[in-house]
Amino acid sequence: RVAAIAAACGLGAGDAVFFVANKEADAAKFSGAVRNRVGRDLGLLEENAFRFCWVTDFPMYERNEDTGQIEFSHNPFSMPQGGLEALNSMDPLDIKAFQYDIVCNGIELSSGAIRNHRPDIMIRAFEIAGYPAEEVEHRFGGMLNAFRYGAPPHGGSAPGIDRIVMLIADEPAIREVILFPMNQQAEDLMMGAPARVPPERLKELHIKLDLPPVKGGKPG
């Protein structure tokens, strides 16, 4: 069996094969983390270099592994490649979106898309994901009405300046380069945030809290 695996993978002396068993997305994420860790530990990563790439042709939809339902894979407001014809004739899982990321050294720096500016295409795209036309009108009526005035095709991207600085400074985490970093409990220790909100302020806004019990300390 070992010889068959070695032959199938084209292994030589000193090579290793890793097997990961999980849901596809979780397995891919874990495998990527292992690859990066092994690369660092063995000194295989290229030092003092910035390698860029564009990631395109994102899937428009994916299947929820728990429910089996078709869902948007990322940005529901992006334009599907092929437009209305693709939505009406193709398997949803084969439809690509006009979405794109720019990546440097494996870190996403900017994410963007071409906007779905046509109400008929947007409504159909949401119907495939399980949203009736009436619900789409109720949730996003303002946007749809604006597009009905004839919005032109448009798109853009949002670069993460803090991630760019993190790469240039060769820091391991984004918290090292942002002004007000938060800890793993989403607390800003320098500013003392989040602060306790007086009950009367919550009552003014008709907000009622249902917090889990605090372990090993007093509620903040």
- Residue 214 above 80 pLDDT? no
- Residue 220 above 70 pLDDT? no
Q: Model confidence at 216, in pLDDT bands (50, 70, 90)?
A: low
Distance between CA 141 and CA 152 in Å, rounded?
18
Rounded average pLDDT over 201-218 = 82
The three-state secondary structure class of 195 is coil
Per-residue pLDDT at 192: 85
- Residue 217 above 60 pLDDT? no
Sequence ranges of the domains in the chain: 1-45, 49-177
Question: Of residues 136 and 181, which shows the higher confidence score?
Answer: 136
Quick one: 49-177 is in which CATH superfamily?
A: Bira Bifunctional Protein; Domain 2 (3.30.930.10)
Q: Model confidence at 218, in pLDDT bands (50, 70, 90)?
A: low
Is the separation of the CB atoms in 163 and 107 below 8 Å?
A: yes
Is the separation of the CB atoms in 110 and 155 below 8 Å?
A: no
Per-residue pLDDT at 103: 92
63-82 pLDDT, tens per residue?
998 899 999 999 999 999 99
In percent, the amount of the chain with pLDDT more than 70 equals: 97
18-63 pLDDT, tens per residue?
889 988 888 999 999 999 889 889 998 888 889 999 999 999 999 9
- Residue 146 above 70 pLDDT? yes
Classify the phi-psi angles of 133: left when phi > 0, otherwise alpha if psi is within -120 to 50, otherwise beta.
Answer: alpha
Classify the phi-psi angles of 38: left when phi > 0, otherwise alpha if psi is within -120 to 50, otherwise beta.
Answer: alpha
Per-residue pLDDT at 84: 97
Mean pLDDT of the residues in the chain: 90
Q: Which long-range contacts (CB under 8 A, 24 or more apart) does 91-94 make?
A: 92/60, 92/61, 92/128, 93/59, 93/61, 93/62, 93/63
Is the separation of the CB atoms in 119 and 147 below 8 Å?
A: yes
86-125 pLDDT, tens per residue?
999 999 999 999 999 999 988 889 999 999 999 999 999 9
Q: Give pTM, 2 decimals.
A: 0.74
